[in-house]
């Protein structure tokens, strides 16, 4: 959560605790919250959290819930990590709120396939399921491969996190990174 709809992390943490989630931890002023919840379908959790943000703070934001195992998989399968001398500070992941394909399909749709032909050198991206892996040698602030770019091209909501944040969230969730 950034920009216009700013939520203080202590208020966000209290909101999650009010929803009866356990071991609630926030990570810097990033909108990221690590918590434990009763087993429940992710869409129901996302809807519950989004509704509570609307009630508590007066605006709507899309909410993406990732299970610990999903975050671990996203980190472990980053295709750019295979390169020697990769600068981890230049890696980001854009999470799509649903797969870039037809409902129920794990195959990319035409909009995702067309993106593969575009060249944004030196910036690069690779879409794997609902994660867009980014390598931006000149920094994320200087790339055309922004959150808005993927939202507009793929017609779905997205949120981007830097590599350090993802690894810190994984650590906070209780799994040591490899």
Q: Mind listing the pLDDT tens digit for each residue in 70-99?
A: 999 999 999 999 999 999 999 999 999 876
Nearest in space to 156 (alpha carbons), one of 83, 97, 69:
97
| CATH number, domain 68-172 | 3.30.70
Each residue of 95-145: pLDDT tens digit? 998 766 545 445 556 667 778 788 899 999 999 988 999 999 999 999 999
Q: Which class for 163: exposed (0-12), middle (13-18), buried (19 or more C-beta within 10 A)?
A: buried
Query: Any idea of the CA torsion for 66, 117, 86, 29, to the nearest 10 degrees?
Result: -40
pLDDT tens readout for residues 44-74: 999 999 999 999 999 998 899 999 999 999 9
For the entire predicted model, the pTM comes to 0.87
Domain ranges of the chain: 9-57, 68-172
- Rounded Cα distance, 34 and 16, in Å: 10
């Amino acid at each position: 959560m950034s920009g216009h709809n700013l939520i203080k992390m202590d208020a966000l943490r209290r909101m999650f605790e009010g929803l009866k989630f356990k071991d609630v931890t926030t990570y810097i002023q990033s909108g990221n919250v690590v918590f434990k919840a009763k087993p429940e379908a992710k869409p129901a959790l996302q809807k519950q959290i989004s509704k509570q943000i609307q009630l508590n703070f007066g605006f709507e934001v899309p909410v993406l819930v990732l299970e610990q195992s999903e975050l671990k998989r996203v980190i472990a399968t980053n295709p750019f990590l295979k390169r020697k001398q990769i600068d981890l500070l230049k890696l980001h992941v854009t999470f799509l709120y649903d797969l870039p394909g037809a409902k129920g399909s794990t195959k990319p749709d035409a909009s995702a396939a067309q993106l593969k032909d575009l060249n944004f050198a030196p910036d690069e991206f690779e879409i794997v399921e609902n994660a867009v892996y980014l390598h931006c040698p000149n920094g994320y602030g200087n790339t055309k491969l922004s959150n808005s770019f993927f939202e507009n091209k793929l017609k779905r909501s997205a949120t981007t996190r830097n590599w350090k944040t993802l690894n810190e969230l994984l650590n906070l969730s209780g799994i040591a990174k490899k």
